[in-house]
Amino acid sequence: MDAFEAIKVTFFQECDELLAELESKLMLLEQGQTDLETINAVFRAVHSVKGGAGAFGLEALVRFAHVFETLMDELRAGRKPCDPVTIKTLLRASDVLADHVQAAQGLVPEVDEARSAGLVAEMELLTHGGEAPAPVVEEDEDDFGFTPMAFDMALDEPLAPLPEPASGWRIELRPHGRMYASANETGLLLRELGRLGPTTVVLDDSQLPALDALAVEEGWLAWTVELHAAVDEATVREVFDFVEADCDLTLTPLGAPAEADFVFEEEGPAVLPAGDDLDIAALLARVQGEAAAEPLAPLSAPEAAPAAPVTTPMPASTPAPAVASAPTAPAPVTIRVDLDRVDRLINAVGELVIQQAMLSQRVLESGLARSSGIALGLEDLELLTREIQDSVMAIRAQPVKSVFQRMPRLVREVADMTHKQVRLVTAGEDTEVDKTVVERLAEPITHMLRNAIDHGLETPAERLAAGKSPEGVVRLAALHRSGRIVIEISDDGRGINRERVKKIAVDKDLIAADAVLSDEQVDNLIFLPGFSTADAVSDISGRGVGMDVVKRSIHALGGRISISSAPGKGSTFTLSLPLTLAVLDGMVTTAAEQTLIAPLPAIVESLTPQAADLHHVGGLDPVIRFRDAYVPVVDVALVMGFRDAPMDPTQGIAVIVETESGQRAALLLDAIQGQRQVVIKSLETNYQQVEGVAAATILGDGRVALILDVDTLVAIRRSGVRSDFKLAS
Q: Grade residue 380 by pLDDT with cuts at 50, 70 and 90.
A: confident
Round the average pLDDT of the chain to a whole number and report it. 77
Q: What is the pLDDT of residue 314?
A: 39
Phi and psi angles of residue 320, each rounded to the nearest 5 degrees, phi first: -55, 135
User: In sequence order, which residues have a C-beta less than 8 Å from that of residue 535 and are 6 or more positions away?
Assistant: 542
CB 502 within 8 A of CB 522: yes
The per-residue pLDDT for range 641-682, each reduced to its tens digit, is: 888 888 888 899 999 998 866 788 999 999 998 888 787 877
Residues 238-267, mean pLDDT to the nearest whole number: 67
Q: Grade residue 245 by pLDDT with cuts at 50, 70 and 90.
A: confident
Buried b (16+ CB within 10 A) or exposed e, 556-574: ebbbbbbbbbeeeebbbbb
Q: What is the pLDDT of residue 458?
A: 92
pLDDT at 45 over 50: yes
Phi-psi region of 702 (alpha: psi -120 to 50; beta: other; left: phi over 0): left
Q: What is the pLDDT of residue 727?
A: 42
pLDDT at 489 over 90: yes
Q: What is the pLDDT of residue 183?
A: 66
Phi and psi angles of residue 547, each rounded to the nearest 5 degrees, phi first: -70, -30
Q: How far apart are CA 277 and CA 253, in angstroms?
A: 9
Phi and psi angles of residue 525, each rounded to the nearest 5 degrees, phi first: -65, -25
DSSP helix, strand, coil percent of the chain (3-state; round to 5): 40, 20, 40
Q: What is the pLDDT of residue 333?
A: 67
User: CATH top-level class for 400-578?
Assistant: alpha beta
| Domain 3-127 indexed as CATH 3.40.50.150 | no
The per-residue pLDDT for range 433-459, each reduced to its tens digit, is: 888 788 788 888 988 899 899 888 999
CB 607 within 8 A of CB 664: no
pLDDT at 87 over 50: yes
pLDDT at 132 over 60: no
Lowest-confidence pick of 44-53, 170-179, 304-313, 424-433: 304-313
The per-residue pLDDT for range 290-348, each reduced to its tens digit, is: 433 444 343 333 343 443 333 333 343 334 333 344 444 555 667 777 778 887 888 88
Q: What is the pLDDT of residue 492?
A: 93
Q: Does this model's pTM top 0.75?
A: no
Lowest-confidence pick of 233-247, 377-391, 665-679, 713-727: 713-727
For 583-719, CATH number out of 3.40.50.300, 2.30.30.40, 2.40.10.10, 3.30.365.10 equals: 2.30.30.40
Q: What is the pLDDT of residue 429?
A: 87
List of E strands, 327-411: 397-399
Closest CA to 136 of 144, 148, 147, 128: 128
Please provide the DSSP assignment of 111-139 as one string.
--HHHHHHHHHHHHHHHTTTSPPPPP-PP
The amino acid sitting at 183 is A
Buried b (16+ CB within 10 A) or exposed e, 266-304: eeeeeebeeeebbbbbbbbbbbeeeeeeeeeeeeeeeee
The per-residue pLDDT for range 596-627, each reduced to its tens digit, is: 999 888 888 999 998 888 888 776 788 999 88
Residues in the chain: 729
CB 437 within 8 A of CB 398: no
Q: Grade residue 130 by pLDDT with cuts at 50, 70 and 90.
A: low
Q: How far apart are CA 240 and CA 227, in angstroms?
A: 14
What are the boundaries of each domain within the chain? Answer: 3-127, 160-261+277-320, 339-398, 400-578, 583-719
Q: Tell me what percent of the residues of the chain surpass a pLDDT of 90.
A: 12
Q: What is the pLDDT of residue 171?
A: 92
Radius of gyration of the chain, Cα coordinates, nearest whole angstrom = 36
pLDDT at 12 over 90: no
Q: How far apart are CA 96 and CA 126, in angstroms?
A: 17
pLDDT at 275 over 50: no
The per-residue pLDDT for range 508-542, each reduced to its tens digit, is: 888 888 888 888 888 888 888 777 665 544 445 54
DSSP secondary structure letter of residue 510: S
Lowest-confidence pick of 25-39, 120-134, 294-308, 489-503: 294-308
pLDDT at 404 over 80: yes
CB 76 within 8 A of CB 42: no
